[in-house]
């Protein structure tokens, strides 16, 4: 099993435990902040299950139906995760506004504090683990999951602080105000995830820094007199690169092919953490001007 899939199994298990803890105490206490955190954990559970499905299917080999594989399931999963986070934030915002207009007193504050301490410690451990996996694999689904749980960590810490203040001062208004803050922070965190996933689904080119490195590799081959039609895209953990290279008309096919192999090897080293799919056309003249 790939490390990415193992990470989704761990995050799913953790989310399941947190849902049970938070939902129980959120209903008993009447805290909007705790209930919001419970809903977020339930969404984490759903998203982690979907991520496992997406990663499992994205690994399948290309076939007659999907000639380029199913790697776009990964950015699709990231977009869905971002949208779910945003929708849950809207629900939390609604619940907070309802509590402001219809004041409800909180109960079981001590139990709520204990549950949030446990949740904070467990989530912190999960964030460290997911960040490590994301660094090793550079997988966008895991990066999205890590960012999602990082927002949970911040919200858990804020809720824990607010519950402490409420238990000391008795001021109930702190709870819905904190819920509003968490809702806006969740939306703010979801936007980059959605944006990156959509760009990948639309086959946006690689970052300029990566393209400059590709160009440098091509231009380092002295037998390549020119190049054109350089196209790049990224799909999940896959990078696709195609380019037309121009050679002197007198060069042998063997020599031109050797140069193309050298370029391909260097590109694979450049993107060593990705699955690279490279297509190099060898042209005897610059045919870009005739098209």
Give the start-to-end residue ranges of the domains of the chain.
3-201, 208-290
Tens-level pLDDT at each residue, the chain (291 residues): 567 778 878 888 888 888 887 777 777 766 666 776 777 777 777 777 777 777 777 667 777 887 777 778 778 877 887 887 788 788 778 877 877 787 666 666 777 788 788 888 888 898 899 888 888 877 767 877 787 777 777 777 777 787 787 777 777 677 778 778 878 887 887 888 888 889 888 889 999 999 999 999 999 999 999 999 999 998 877 899 999 999 998 899 999 999 999 999 999 999 987 889 999 999 988 877 665
Helix or strand (DSSP H, E) at 62:
none
Q: 228 - beta bridge partners?
A: 244
Looking at 202-234, list the stretches that DSSP marks H as alpha helix, in order from N- to C-terminal side.
208-219
Statement: the pTM of the whole predicted model exceeds 0.95: no
- Residue among 277, 205, 269, 211 at smallest CA distance from 241: 277
Q: 246 - beta bridge partners?
A: 226, 283
In whole angstroms, what is the distance from residue 233 CA to residue 262 CA?
21
Helix axes 3-29, 140-169, angle to 10 degrees: 20
Task: Name every residue whose Cβ is closer than 8 Å to that of residue 136 and which is 6 or more positions away in sequence.
Answer: 3
What is the CATH number assigned to the segment(s) 208-290?
A: 3.30.70.1350
3-201 shares its CATH topology with 208-290: no
Check whether domain 3-201 has CATH 3.30.70.20, yes or no: no
What is the chain's alpha carbon radius of gyration, rounded to the nearest angstrom?
25
Q: Are strands 275-283 and 238-246 parallel, antiparallel or unpaired?
A: parallel
Angle, CA 59 vertex, CA 58 and CA 65 arms, to 5° = 65
In whole angstroms, what is the distance from residue 227 CA to residue 260 CA?
12
């Amino acid at each position: 099993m790939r490390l990415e899939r193992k990470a989704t199994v761990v995050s799913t298990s953790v989310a399941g435990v947190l849902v049970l803890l938070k939902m129980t105490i959120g209903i008993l206490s009447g805290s909007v902040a705790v209930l919001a955190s419970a809903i977020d954990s339930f969404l984490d559970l759903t998203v982690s299950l979907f991520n496992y499905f997406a990663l499992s299917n994205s690994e399948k080999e290309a076939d007659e139906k999907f000639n380029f594989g199913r790697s776009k399931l990964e950015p699709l999963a990231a977009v869905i995760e971002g949208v779910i986070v945003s929708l849950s934030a809207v629900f939390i915002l609604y619940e907070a506004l309802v509590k402001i207009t219809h004041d409800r007193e909180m109960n079981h504050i001590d139990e709520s504090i204990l549950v949030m301490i446990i949740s904070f410690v467990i989530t912190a451990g999960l964030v460290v683990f997911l960040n490590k996996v994301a660094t090793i694999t550079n997988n966008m689904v895991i990066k999205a999951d890590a960012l999602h749980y990082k927002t949970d960590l911040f919200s858990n810490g804020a809720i824990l602080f607010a519950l402490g203040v409420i238990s000391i001062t008795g001021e109930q208004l702190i709870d819905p105000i904190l819920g509003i803050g968490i809702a806006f922070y969740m939306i703010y965190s979801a936007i980059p995830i959605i944006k990156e996933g959509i760009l990948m689904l639309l086959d946006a080119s690689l970052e300029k820094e990566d393209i400059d490195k590709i160009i440098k590799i091509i231009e380092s081959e002295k037998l390549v007199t020119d190049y054109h039609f350089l196209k790049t895209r990224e799909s999940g953990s896959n990078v696709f690169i195609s380019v037309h290279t121009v050679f002197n008309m007198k060069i042998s096919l063997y020599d031109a092919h050797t140069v193309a192999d050298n370029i391909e090897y260097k590109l694979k080293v450049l993107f060593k953490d990705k699955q690279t799919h490279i297509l190099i056309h060898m042209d005897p003249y610059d045919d870009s001007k005739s098209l």
